[in-house]
Amino acid sequence: MNTSAGNTYKQGLIYTAGSYLLWGILPLYWKMIENVSAEEILAHRIFWSFLFMLILLSLNKEWKNIIVASKRMIKQPLLFLSLVFSSLLISINWFVYIWSVNNEHMIEASLGYYINPLISVLLGMIFFKEKLNFWQKMSFGVAAIGVMIMTIHYGEIPWVALTLALSFGLYGLTKKLTKFSSTIGLTFETMVVTPIAVYYLWVIASQGKSEFLAFDVSTNLLLVGAGVATALPLLLFASGAQRIPLFMVGVLQYIAPTITLVIGIVVYKEPFTTIEMVTFTFIWSALILFTLSNSKYFKKVEVKRSRKNTIGM
């Protein structure tokens, strides 16, 4: 590896790891404004993210790219529908995540993001006919057992975890279809739902129920800063992921849910019972199995298994 390539790889690692680090500690940010409802935080997050992206586009002189992307959507209505769908999905994901953090479901939220990679692969199999090997199929079975254990024990489906995993997995699917850059994509996504956010903020303000400007300065600044808190890790990820191999991105993605899990247990003392431990053990085992499924050793075992099955036929 030459010096230039080595520097690019290091930058990619730093940017990508940095994005997951920021996503991991993001619950600390939302906890600082837990006095504000999840609905109002979401509305502010959408509005200030959109405003921040407009400023960023102006600084980077990317308005030409916006015009080009707009023309694409005019010519391809399905592209616009995909964008609307992705806007709704990411809004659902943001809302459930904020709600879970501020309602003592942080551990379940981290479970959702551990499950997410498996959901993404499953969606790839369904929509893009991507094939899984024996070990990858096994990993899905192991993960399903873990979720089933939690469901049976508590008598209800872990909807927070599954909603986060499904919404972000489907969001990734729509992003693959639209193929916009992260800057252009986030600008359009926030633009689509900003009118709804502004209307909601106007309604609660007219009813005297808005927390914005009603509390101290720090709360107001944190609500405004939600735009930067949303966009910064996404931009770091987009910049970093282009510089490193996909498998490394896959390894680094577990930084965020791990940090969130530790914060939930250590900082906010959320209960982590034997059932949670068993569930997470199954999920972690599934992820390890899935990660190693493409290794040389597992591929050799898969080849031997296939030959044995062929001979036995």
Which H or E run contains 116? helix 106-128
Rg (CA), the chain: 21
Buried b (16+ CB within 10 A) or exposed e, 269-298: ebeeeeebeebbebbbbbbebbbebeeeeb
Token pair recorded at residue 282: 């199954």
Q: Which of 31, 94, 21 is nearest to 259 (CA)?
A: 21
pLDDT in tens, 227-273: 999 989 988 887 887 788 766 777 788 899 999 999 999 999 999 98
DSSP 3-56: HHHHHHHHHHHHHHHHHHHHHHHHHHHHHTTTTS-HHHHHHHHHHHHHHHHHHH
pLDDT in tens, 3-31: 666 788 888 889 989 999 999 999 999 99
Q: Tokens 């600084």 label which residue?
A: 59
User: Does the pLDDT of residue 181 top 90, yes or no?
Assistant: no
Q: Tokens 């024996």 label which residue?
A: 134
Angular region, 180: left φ>0, alpha ψ -120 to 50, beta rest:
beta
pLDDT of residue 235: 84
Distance, CA of 191 to CA of 111 (rounded, Å): 30
pLDDT of residue 127: 82
pLDDT of residue 146: 87
Distance, CA of 77 to CA of 69 (rounded, Å): 12
pTM above 0.95, yes or no: no
Token pair recorded at residue 164: 């986060």
Residue type for 112, please?
G
